[in-house]
Amino acid sequence: MREKLVMIGNGMAGVRTLEELLELAPDLYDITVFGAEPHGNYNRILLSPVLAGDKTLDDIMLNDEQWYADHGITLHKGKKVVRIDRARRRVVAEDGTTADYDRLIIATGSNPFIIPVPGHDLPGVIAFRDIRDVETMLAAAREHRHAVVIGGGLLGLEAANGLMQRGMDVTVVHIMDTLMERQLDGVAAGMLRKSLEERGLKFLMPAETEAILGSGRVEKVRLKDGTEIPAGLVVMAVGIRPNVELARAAGIHCERGIVVNDTLQTFDPRIYAVGECVQHRGVTYGLVAPLFEQARVCANHLARMGIGRYEGSLTSTKLKVTGIDLFSAGEFQGGEGTEEMIFQDPGAGLYKKLVVRDNRIVGAVMYGDTLDGTWYFELMRDGTDISDLRPTLLFGQAHHLGDSGHGEVQRVAAMSDTTEICGCNGVCKGDIVKAIVDKKLFTLEDVRAHTKASSSCGSCTGLVEALLAHTLGGDYSQAPHKKPLCGCTEFTHDEVRAAITGNGLKSVRAVMDFLEWKTPDGCSKCRPALNFYLVVAWPGEYEDDYQSRFINERAHANIQKDGTYSVVPRMWGGETTPAELRAIAEIAEKYDVPTVKVTGGQRIDLLGVPKETLPAIWGDLAAAGFVSGHAYGKAVRTVKTCVGSEWCRFGTQDSTQMGIDIEKMTWGSWMPHKVKMAVSGCPRNCAEATIKDFGVVAVESGWELHVGGNGGIKVRVTDFLCHVKTPEEVLEHCAAFLQLYREEAHYLERTAPWVERVGLSHIKAQVVDDAQRRRELAERFWHSQKFAQVDPWAERARGAARHEFTPLKQVG
């Protein structure tokens, strides 16, 4: 006999909990849902666009009645629960319907607050909360000319904008002297007001309503100062209150909301609560992302998995008014111990303010261009030390990370539907917005899965997030506080690494068992990461799990679009000889290589080699003295050089030899991502060392070391690490830097984002300032190289991993 699960409330947070639960444990419970509204579950966030005429009611239904039927859920719609009998474990609805429960979810949401002024109960005075309110507003817009919205917050302004779109003459009455005072500072609020006034909205503020007048129906609103405004419709949007009456009457501990713990249980452990009715660690939430996070944890607990914890959410806000870009998060007003960084260009309608405490962003307000909102929010959420970013922080991420493939694209609100967002997969704004609405998507991962936008190189992630925020408005925010490594686990990259070293875990299986992986053998995202972390943690001891490596690293060649491979032999420092070139030429002819190409890293690429031919071609290359160039791996790729003091009249040091020495020291090492290096012989920098992961520039007095550059998707100039005098010092610093990167970066994180995440100061402290720490890091790198510098090509040419390169059988 299955346990009985009853849910009171049929809104987004509650139904999301059921969806998550059905995913985890489809057969655990008999489920009954009571909903006071006569509908299935709909997307309350999108009521504003319905009001404004951008969407229809059908567009915003999330779960129709068929969904409940398909999952065997009993739905009592239009039935309001009036009593919870905790002794008998039974809920009772207004019409006498009862349901017994073993576990109960309270998801009663919130109620709009109605100011009890005289006349507040007149017909034509409504809140802005549900489908019925929208229907009332639409009917009023057809029959009446004047509307008054009481409340100049997020909801009030969206209502006012919607009614104006429907042709009404709208006045907003607000008690404060600035709009959206809970999200905006005075400057941004002023810009918003000006922009809304230009569109035709009228504002009376600060102003307080004294009475609503009318006989039989609302006719006008009278303010405290005696002003009377005509009104065929009054919308009260002055705030919401968690709906706790039912819970309180049942003796469940409530304060402002129903008090829950980190597993969303109330003081009666059989009773859970999720959504806007909940108070968690003293905070109530009204945005969708935190509510969905609660739903996930609650479902996890109901499914008896018991590993999820809800630890609260940071939230950010956007306004869903077409053409207005506005962003707010955290302690935007500043206060004691904070400093403010402000960028203002009134002519262009731009305003940005960052509130900083102890070199960490704690709040942000943006108006006009909010594209960087997601970036600031990320820095804020991760508590990133921004001291290294200060000089350019206000100019946004694009200032030091030039995106390739997006041109001047900046303001998502102003973009046309045909603007291309994702240059890799050819996805336009219209496609993404349509998918968000039609497929009911709420997260970046959802959008990636459905549209492929930002799923390849990821450089348009910020734009996609901005589109999500813009489409879902105030209710989009990145709630998950910590980001799990992948869908197979709740643990982050850092937690997984700590578990590996802290508990002596020495195989992929052992890690998955110890950390209770949710899938039997992981996925294509986590297995390569785990394999890498184990390689770094246990050099010489861990046996590489080739089935957990991406094909390029399993086959030691780079897969091409037609399934053939490319072969790039190593040329130390990019220097070669006539004999080597002759050998390559002969091999290319012998194996009919279709394309021979010089790479960006000063190597020769043989393209179009069938997999079966690889061991033979490698054997010939090995005979000519070549080893693998690792052009296929998350590994040290190339050290690019110029000709240096040996030939160049400007050269200051023998930089070519330095490049060769660095490459001989580092080749064969597995890295979190590919690593490219370069050595230039003078500050003219012909080897382009300042856009490499590790770059060396020779000067008269020695060597300048630079780190964290990138010439790829996001062009980033290196940060200057330090100046050293001798070649030995260059090698030791290089080894120490690379080892720190190997030990601390997340798998698939290039040095550029890693340096930005942890901060240059953190790296300097270990690689430059602390000689002993540097020495230890370098020693660990050199130690691991003893096991890594085995040429994988020669091994395979001699017959290793033969199964990888031969068909199982040839038929016909």
Partner 1 sequence: MQATNKAAVRQDWIEIGAVDDIPRLGARVVKTPEGDIAVFRTADDRVFALRDRCPHKGGPLSQGIVHGHRVACPLHDWKIALDTGEAVAPDEGCAARFPVRVEDGRVWLSLMPDEGCPNA
**Residues within the interface to partner 1 (CB under 8 A):** 439, 449-450, 456, 519-524, 527-528, 546-548, 550-551, 554-555, 559, 561, 563, 803, 807-812
**Cα distance between residue 463 and residue 447, in whole Å:** 12
> In the bound complex, what is the minimum distance in angstroms from residue 548's beta carbon to partner 1?
7
The smaller minimum CB distance to partner 1, of residues 446 and 575, is found at: 446
The smaller minimum CB distance to partner 1, of residues 359 and 456, is found at: 456
> In the bound complex, what is the minimum distance in angstroms from residue 457's beta carbon to partner 1?
12
- Chain centroid to Cα 739, Å, comes to 27
HEC per residue, 634-658: CEEEEEEECCHHHHCCCCCCCHHHH
Among 544, 539, 546, residue whose Cα is nearest residue 739? 539
The smaller minimum CB distance to partner 1, of residues 527 and 706, is found at: 527
The smaller minimum CB distance to partner 1, of residues 236 and 460, is found at: 460
The smaller minimum CB distance to partner 1, of residues 519 and 577, is found at: 519
> In the bound complex, what is the minimum distance in angstroms from residue 456's beta carbon to partner 1?
8
> In the bound complex, what is the minimum distance in angstroms from residue 618's beta carbon to partner 1?
18
The smaller minimum CB distance to partner 1, of residues 321 and 427, is found at: 427
> In the bound complex, what is the minimum distance in angstroms from residue 31's beta carbon to partner 1?
23
| CA end-to-end span of the chain | 57
The CA distances from residue 404 to 409, 415, 421, in Å, are 11, 18, 12
Beta bridge mates, 356: 339, 361
> In the bound complex, what is the minimum distance in angstroms from residue 712's beta carbon to partner 1?
18
DSSP for residue 543: P
The smaller minimum CB distance to partner 1, of residues 74 and 560, is found at: 560
The smaller minimum CB distance to partner 1, of residues 211 and 559, is found at: 559
The smaller minimum CB distance to partner 1, of residues 125 and 508, is found at: 508
Q: Where on the phi/psi map is residue 636: left (φ > 0), alpha (ψ -120 to 50), or beta?
A: beta
Listed in sequence order, the DSSP H helices in 59-130 are 65-70
> In the bound complex, what is the minimum distance in angstroms from residue 453's beta carbon to partner 1?
13
The smaller minimum CB distance to partner 1, of residues 548 and 657, is found at: 548
> In the bound complex, what is the minimum distance in angstroms from residue 450's beta carbon to partner 1?
5
> In the bound complex, what is the minimum distance in angstroms from residue 524's beta carbon to partner 1?
3
Tokens of residue 361, six digits: 């962003």
Torsion sign (Cα): 653, 655, 656, 659? positive
**Cα distance between residue 11 and residue 26, in whole Å:** 20
Q: Tell me the CB-side half-sphere exposure of residue 283, using CA atoms within 13 A.
A: 14
The smaller minimum CB distance to partner 1, of residues 342 and 551, is found at: 551
Cis amide prior to 792 (ω within 30 degrees): no
Among 94, 86, 64, residue whose Cα is nearest residue 6? 86
> In the bound complex, what is the minimum distance in angstroms from residue 141's beta carbon to partner 1?
37
DSSP one-letter string for 689-709: GGGSSEEEEEETTEEEEEE--
Torsions phi, psi for 799 (to 5 deg)? 120, 0
Query: Taking a C-beta distance cutoff of 8 angstroms, is the pair 239, 250 a contact?
Result: no
> In the bound complex, what is the minimum distance in angstroms from residue 428's beta carbon to partner 1?
18
Query: Taking a C-beta distance cutoff of 8 angstroms, is the pair 52, 161 a contact?
Result: yes
The smaller minimum CB distance to partner 1, of residues 1 and 808, is found at: 808
Tokens of residue 168, six digits: 């009404």
Query: Taking a C-beta distance cutoff of 8 angstroms, is the pair 757, 708 a contact?
Result: no
- Chain centroid to Cα 295, Å, comes to 19
Tokens of residue 399, six digits: 């200032």
DSSP one-letter string for 488-535: T-S--HHHHHHHHHHTT--SHHHHHHHTT-SSSS--TTHHHHHHHHHH
> In the bound complex, what is the minimum distance in angstroms from residue 301's beta carbon to partner 1?
25
> In the bound complex, what is the minimum distance in angstroms from residue 445's beta carbon to partner 1?
11
> In the bound complex, what is the minimum distance in angstroms from residue 807's beta carbon to partner 1?
5
The smaller minimum CB distance to partner 1, of residues 211 and 424, is found at: 424
> In the bound complex, what is the minimum distance in angstroms from residue 795's beta carbon to partner 1?
17
Angle separating helix axes 288-302 and 12-24, nearest 10 degrees: 40
Listed in sequence order, the DSSP H helices in 1-57 are 12-24, 47-52
The smaller minimum CB distance to partner 1, of residues 391 and 807, is found at: 807
DSSP for residue 474: G
Among 140, 133, 177, residue whose Cα is nearest residue 158? 133
Q: Are strands 103-106 and 271-273 parallel, antiparallel or unpaired?
A: parallel
Beta carbons within 8 Å of 769's beta carbon, 6+ residues apart: none
The smaller minimum CB distance to partner 1, of residues 525 and 775, is found at: 525
Query: Taking a C-beta distance cutoff of 8 angstroms, is the pair 224, 244 a contact?
Result: no
Torsion sign (Cα): 621, 626, 628, 630? negative
> In the bound complex, what is the minimum distance in angstroms from residue 458's beta carbon to partner 1?
13
The smaller minimum CB distance to partner 1, of residues 304 and 803, is found at: 803
Residue 425 DSSP SS3: coil
